[in-house]
Amino acid sequence: MVIKPMIRSNICINSHPVGCAKETERQIDYARAQKAKRSIKTSKEGGNGPKTVLVLGCSTGYGLGSRISAAFEYGADTIGVSFEKEASDRRGGTPGWYNNKAFDRAAKKDGLQTVTINADAYSDECRKTVIDQVKAWGKKFDLIIYSLASPVRTDPDSKVMYKSVIKPVGQPYGGAALDMMTGKLSEMTAEPASGDEIPNTVKVMGGEDWERWIKQLSEADVLAQGCRTVAYSYIGPKLSHPIYRDGTIGAAKKDLEQRAHNIDSQLKSIGGAAYVSVNKGLITRSSSVIPIIALYLGALFKVMKAKGTHEGCIEQMERLFAERLYTGENNGAGKVPVDSENRIRIDDWELEDDVQAEVDKIMPNITEENVEQSIDLAGIRHDFLAINGFDVEGVDYTKDVTDLTSID
């Protein structure tokens, strides 16, 4: 069959196996090129960077970019965890399933140890599987990336399922919503959270599960001396604060940041540390359906591309590793620059005063008639499609896909 994107209200409900693989390979090529450019040495070459890395939420976005940087720039063996729908003869898999398959193939070709676990990362059963696997390797983790994002989480103790929501707190939040495929604008309003929606969102997207992971890994003695762990967050511009930083997700991220301090204290005994990295805003499945956000990102991309500072997932993660985490001798763990809350900031270029000033000039003047000229509509549309394996360079989208389980 010929696979074309099936899009409903800024949500793509299918994926292209070959396109997903090609996009993953593009990111791998970038990491390899940066390794050469920065003269980074793997452990086999005498480098002191990460050697055994666990990535929780490894299949897409920042999690995938982290795993690629660890493996193909620093030569690390990796265990990745994600919960994906597998492909079958009749049905395609989720983009992350194909991304994982492409990653594993490339890592094995390079002689790297790699195991990808398709399971619920919130469960204690998954934690046991990870612990058993790293023990079977005879290794310990020196870096743990926590990049989980999910609408639901079942508490391992109570067995209660909690649901997260993206809503403002206190009052409605509204504004223009952009259909990225047509360029049409419409008004969208998000009603404020009610009932238990705030604590439930914190339960899913906060730091409780991250803390549980580190506790159980520590008790199993699979954390190496000096082990570091990093979780990801977003702050963004003031215009998005009501729906994000000051909304339900923001409450969860503040919990994540608070628990980072707890985890950091726990890791001191082995010379380790815990950080939250505040990353740049990017087109994701969730950001595409939040009022204002797609328009803001379109304006932001236009300004940052003109300035030469725009980054995607892999560029952000490569910079996090090379310019924040591993700045020591022979690419070892160096002193990490942080803000007053002990957060790593690689949203620094997004929030530069001149960038935000330009974005603020653009935003009030966007209309349906000028949207294509006012923002980087083509850029955000490409990113939206590429997440799902479409609009990827080097892929023949007129070719029949005869095996939905194959990435060739």
Residue 313 has which token pair?
A: 């997932």
List Cα–Cα distances, 103 to 81, 257, 286, 375, in angstroms.
13, 30, 24, 33
Distance CA 122, CA 144 (A): 15
Of 63, 141, 133, 67, nearest in space to 104 by CA: 67
SS3 state of residue 276: strand
Q: Where are the alpha helices (DSSP H) in 110-226?
A: 124-137, 197-205, 208-219
Residue 175 phi/psi, 5-degree rounding, is 165, -175
- Which among 62, 74, 244, 326 is annotated as catalytic? 244
Q: 244 catalytic, yes or no?
A: yes
Residues 212 and 159 sit within 8 Å (Cβ to Cβ): no
Amino acid at 74: Y
What would the DSSP string read from start to end of 229-262?
Answer: EEEEE----GGGTTTTTTSHHHHHHHHHHHHHHH
Distance CA 86, CA 94 (A): 7
Residue 241 has which token pair?
A: 């604060």
Distance CA 299, CA 43 (A): 41
Distance CA 60, CA 321 (A): 17
The end-to-end CA distance of the chain, in Å, is: 14
Catalytic residue annotation:
244
